Structure 1
Amino acid sequence: MSPRVGLGSNKIVMAAAEIADEQGMEGVTLAALAARLGVRPPSLYNHIDGLAGLRTQLAVHGLKQLYEAMSSASQGLSGSDAVLAMGKGYAAFAKQHPGLYEMTLQAPDADNAELIEEGDRVLKLITCVLEPYRLGEQGELHAVRGLRSILHGFASLEQKGGFSISLDLNVSLSATIHAFLAGIDQFRE
């Protein structure tokens, strides 16, 4: 049996990303995906390696999109301006694509080179933006962990409605990133 014309892995991943953003990671099932695409679930197996394979493809797609959001936000900037813009790009991606963002948080499959490569691209971008602070190799890695923790925490709290007080979230995020940068010397080796 030949694969359905017009149905390819890219179309499947895009439809799955929509479901993830609408319903969360748990909503991404082969039955829901097949219904969205108007096909029978067995048809999907011509293009994906089951639900686990689909989730890996979603994670790769999500990491590519996250990288683009962070990279384009910080392009042409340096120092605190770059860190702030990159952080805002991260938070905006997580807000616009909550399910896809959730997919990016899974530990990479050690057997999937593309997933590891995309995760490394995100980390290298953060490292590159923090490079002017001259923290040393280990200090830089600690700072990357700290900044990712701040950004993830902020994005997660925002997604879950944890910021119900009517204060400008942009101001809160900017102040938090500036506070991180004010103490960045703590990471220096």
Structure 2
Amino acid sequence: MTAARPNAPAVTKRATKLSRDGIVNAALTFLDREGWDALTINALATQLGTKGPSLYNHVDSLDDLRRTVRMRVIGDIIGMLNTVADGRTRDDAVVTMAAAYRSYAHHHPGRYSAFTRMPLGGDDPEYTEATRAAAAPVIEVLSSYGLSGEDAFHSSLEFWSAMHGFVLLEMTGVMNGIDTDAVFTDMVVRLAAGMERR
């Protein structure tokens, strides 16, 4: 057995260095585990192993943090929809995007909740512009059906409304015991058929 060195310095655990990006990333993870309503500065600080005031060196307030989280989620959703729709058109694109949207909501319930917490036409012009940008991948696909302008934008809202309603019914357990995969696929195919008729 090797004896410990008598004058060896004590090993201390180094605190995680905080940054705005690191705090936002931690908030995203927190959301999926605890939910939107549980997100507070102190709760997040506890997860990060620090105290609430330390976070205020990087975020102005809880509202600032929540807004930043929403903007990040919108960016992630836009990126995800663009990726899955790349090279696809019409029914193939609609079905693929719908499946990806539903999967995102189920895998990231807290982030999805953040995405739906503010109105599309609220008092925050940057957020309003970002939420409209989230419709861009859908509008691009709808253009392959010959839709454009306000008609395409309204159709994208109809598409989102159908997806959101279905996802909420699933997540709240209303559809337990039903083959939701089959119902979802049928719904999306009907939506695509409606685009075709337009």
TM over 0.5: yes
> 1:29: Cα distance to partner?
0.7
Question: 2:7 maps to what in 1?
Answer: none
Question: 2:11 maps to what in 1?
Answer: none
Give the aligned residue type for 1:13.
V
How far apart are the structure 2 equivalents of 1:180 and 1:23?
34
1:120-159 alignment runs, 5 A limit = 120-159=132-171
> 1:58: Cα distance to partner?
0.8
- Answer yes or no: is 1:37 the counterpart of 2:48: yes
How far apart are the structure 2 equivalents of 1:170 and 1:57?
33
1:95-114 alignment runs, 5 A limit = 95-105=106-116, 106-107=118-119, 110-111=123-124, 113=126
Aligned match for 2:69, one of 29, 39, 58: 58
Question: 1:81 maps to what in 2?
Answer: 92
SS for the counterpart of 1:165 is: coil
CA change 1:184–1:112 in 2 (3 A) is closer
CA change 1:73–1:185 in 2 (3 A) is closer
SS for the counterpart of 2:160 is: helix
- Answer yes or no: is 1:178 the counterpart of 2:192: no
Gaps of 5+ in 1: none
Question: 2:6 maps to what in 1?
Answer: none
- TM (norm. structure 1) is 0.88
- Answer yes or no: is 1:72 the counterpart of 2:71: no
Question: 1:165 maps to what in 2?
Answer: 177
SS for the counterpart of 2:135 is: helix
Question: 1:15 maps to what in 2?
Answer: 26
State whether residues 135 and 185 of structure 1, in contact with CA within 8 Å, keep that contact through their aligned partners in structure 2: no
> 1:166: Cα distance to partner?
4.3
How far apart are the structure 1 equivalents of 2:132 and 2:141?
14
State whether residues 135 and 153 of structure 2, in contact with CA within 8 Å, keep that contact through their aligned partners in structure 1: no
How far apart are the structure 2 equivalents of 1:43 and 1:37?
10
Give the aligned residue type for 2:157.
R
How far apart are the structure 2 equivalents of 1:28 and 1:148?
26
- TM (norm. structure 2) is 0.84
SS for the counterpart of 1:146 is: helix
State whether residues 34 and 40 of structure 1, in contact with CA within 8 Å, keep that contact through their aligned partners in structure 2: yes
Residues paired across the two proteins, number: 182
SS for the counterpart of 2:153 is: helix
Structure 1, 24-33 or 65-74: larger mean CA deviation: 65-74
Structure 1, 27-36 or 69-78: larger mean CA deviation: 69-78
Q: Considering only aligned residues, what root-mean-square deviation do their CA atoms show, in Å?
A: 1.9
How far apart are the structure 2 equivalents of 1:73 and 1:156?
22
The one-character-per-residue Cα deviations of 1:35-78 (angstroms, maximum 9, x if unpaired) are 00011101111111211001101101111111122222222211
